[in-house]
Amino acid sequence: SKDLKIAPSILASDFSKLGQEVRDVVDAGADWIHLDVMDGHFVPNITFGPDVIAKLRPHTDKVFDTHLMIAPCDPYLEAFAKAGSDIITVHAEAGPHLDRSLQAIRNLGKKAGVSLNPSTPESVLEYVLDRLDLILVMTVNPGFGGQKFIDAMVEKTRRIKQMIGDRPIDLEIDGGVTPETAPLVANAGANVLVAGSAVFKGGSVESYRGNIEAIRAS
Ligand code: DX5
Ligand code: ZN
């Protein structure tokens, strides 16, 4: 649909020229920029932190969608806010006080998101729905790009869409999104699709444009 947003994950881009990659993917039609922060503790991989995000901030006006795969997250929320994140998403599994983390993000003036690992039931969202601006459904186990989409997450997405009701909450999908899997989750109610390898394959702005259009058209 026209309201569907594509959020390329720069995890799949060339880290030696991140600023250029961000500008290229924006030129190619990206709606948001998805920033995957990994700590080698909550997930078995390490990426980048707030200083890299701050250096990327002048390269585009697009929404910076920061996905924190770190635990604990609370000590770093202010740094990611100051770095220029527009949305800060924490994992429900990353700490014992999700409600507190979400309040802290909003108190920093940012939109607050919750991400759920594939094995985490949607019931964890029940009592925080009114503190949320975004729900991120992981359709792979977090830590790496290029993994296979987990089909059972389509039904989970559908259930979460029902829970959201008429609240103004974005429903985002992350992991294994391709022109084949995108329609499954869009039909289930998702309105933001993260895609890493499916967007950055080809390595040029022309290929990024074709890749984004292929997902949108599907
Ligand atoms: C995985 C990250 C994803 C990842 C998606 O832990 O949260 O954003 O980059 O990559 P693809 O689209 O290649 O599955
Ligand atoms: Zn992500």
- Residue 87 CA to residue 211 CA, distance in Å, equals 24
Region 105-110: mean pLDDT is 98
pLDDT of residue 1: 54
Q: Which helix (H) or strand (E) holds 84?
A: none
Please report the pLDDT score of residue 39 as a whole number: 98
For residue 109, pLDDT over 90 is answered with yes
**Structure-block tokens of residue 124:** 């964890």
How far away, in angstroms, is 115 Cα from ligand 2 center?
A: 9
How high is the pLDDT of residue 195?
A: 98
pLDDT above 90 covers a percentage of the chain that reads 98
* Band of pLDDT at residue 206, cut at 50, 70 and 90: very high
User: Is the per-residue pLDDT at 2 higher than 90?
Assistant: no
Q: Is the CB of residue 196 below 6 angstroms from any atom belonging to ligand 1?
A: yes
Count of CB atoms situated within 10 Å of the CB of 95: 16
Assessment of whether the complete model's pTM goes beyond 0.95: yes
Distance from Cα 9 to the centre of ligand 2, integer Å: 7
Tell me, using a 6 A CB cutoff, whether residue 67 lines ligand 1. yes
Binding residues: 9, 34, 36, 67, 143-146, 174-176, 196-197
For the chain, what is the HEC assignment?
Answer: CCCCEEEEEHHHCCHHHHHHHHHHHHHCCCCEEEEEEEECCCCCCECCCHHHHHHHHHHCCCEEEEEEECCCCHHHHHHHHHCCCCEEEEECCCCCCHHHHHHHHHHCCCEEEEEECCCCCHHHHCCCHHHCCEEEEECCCCCCCCCCCCCCHHHHHHHHHHHHCCCCCEEEEECCCCCCCHHHHHHCCCCEEEECHHHHCCCCHHHHHHHHHHHHHC
* Contact by Cβ (8 Å): 147, 141: yes
Domain at 5-217: CATH architecture = Alpha-Beta Barrel (3.20)
Distance of CA 196 from the midpoint of ligand 1 (Å): 5
Containing H/E element for 171?
strand 170-174
For 137-153, how does the pLDDT look when each residue is reduced to its tens digit (9 = 90+)? 999 999 999 999 999 99
Whether the CB of 113 sits within 6 Å of ligand 1:
no
Q: Which atom of ligand 1 is nearest to the CA of 199?
A: 12
Q: With a 6 A CB cut-off, is 199 part of the ligand 1 pocket?
A: no
φ/ψ (deg, to 5) at 161: -55, -40
- Which whole number is the average pLDDT over 10-38? 98
CA distance 196 to 148: 12
Q: In 10 A of CB 88, how many CB atoms?
A: 30
- Mean pLDDT over 58-64 rounds to 98
* pLDDT of 40 higher than 90: yes
Q: Per-residue pLDDT averaged across 2-20, rounded?
A: 96
Mean pLDDT, rounded, for 182-204? 98
Residues identified as active-site: 36, 174
- Determine whether the shortest distance from the Cβ of 198 to ligand 1 is under 6 A: yes
Joined tokens for residue 85: 């994140």
Residue with tokens 């002048």: 58
Q: Which residues are annotated as a binding site for a divalent metal cation?
A: 34, 36, 67, 174
Q: Which residue among 6, 33, 36 has the greatest number of ligand 1 atoms within 8 angstroms of its CB, and so is best to mutate?
A: 36
Per DSSP, the three-state class of 44 is coil
